[in-house]
């Protein structure tokens, strides 16, 4: 596949041909149809996120079509339209059991802990826990905005600012 790769922090990324990802037993590979650009991608490229190892493919605001499915995945099939949250949970730690997968102790973050969506294909782990189906009437670019920028803004305004219905 083709991917945007940086070999070192603060150096210009290049488009390279790299091996296609294969799904983990609990994961899927997604054909990327849309990917946002986020300030967190910039912070990562600057070297400010210690989970990133080099060389690296950024990108975490993604939506696409399931292209390959791991053998233990029950709920998803090739061809499903999906997106993922910025932080994926493991489903097996204290935080995940408490319903707080966004602060999972073993989190999966495309574009940070693993290669991301500035690529033709991207992996997602623990697909039955983390994938979110996209309604037929929602385009991929809109869906790609939900997992990071929309939830961040929503929680800032509604939960922290207490502005909105019921507040």
Residues near Zn ion (CB under 5 A): 38, 40, 61, 89-90, 93, 96, 104, 148
Q: Which is nearer to Zn ion, 40 or 113 (CB)?
A: 40
Least distance in Å: CB of 155 to Zn ion?
13
d(CA 35, CA 38): 10
Q: Which is nearer to Zn ion, 38 or 82 (CB)?
A: 38
Least distance in Å: CB of 166 to Zn ion?
27
d(CA 13, CA 79): 30
Is-contact 56 11, C-beta < 8 A? no
Least distance in Å: CB of 45 to Zn ion?
13
Closest residue to Zn ion in the complex (CB): 38
Q: Which is nearer to Zn ion, 137 or 160 (CB)?
A: 160
Q: Which is nearer to Zn ion, 42 or 78 (CB)?
A: 42
Least distance in Å: CB of 103 to Zn ion?
9
d(CA 34, CA 137): 15
Q: b/e string for 112-123 if b means 16 or more Cβ within 10 A? A: bbbbbbbbbbbb
């Amino acid at each position: 596949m083709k991917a945007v790769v940086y070999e070192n922090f603060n150096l210009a990324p290049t488009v390279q041909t790299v091996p296609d990802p294969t799904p983990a037993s609990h994961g899927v590979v997604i054909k990327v149809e849309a990917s946002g650009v986020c300030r967190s991608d910039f912070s990562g490229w600057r070297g400010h996120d210690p989970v990133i190892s080099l060389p690296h493919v950024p990108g975490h605001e993604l939506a696409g079509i399931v292209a390959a499915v791991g053998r233990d995945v029950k709920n998803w099939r090739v061809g499903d339209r999906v997106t993922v949250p910025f932080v994926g949970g493991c489903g097996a730690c204290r935080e995940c059991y408490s319903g707080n997968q966004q602060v999972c102790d073993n989190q999966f973050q495309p574009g940070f802990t693993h290669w991301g969506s500035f690529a033709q294909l991207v992996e997602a782990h623990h697909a039955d826990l983390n994938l979110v189906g996209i309604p037929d009437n929602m385009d991929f670019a809109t869906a790609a905005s939900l997992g990071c920028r929309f939830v961040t803004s929503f929680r800032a305004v509604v939960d922290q600012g207490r502005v909105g219905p019921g507040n």
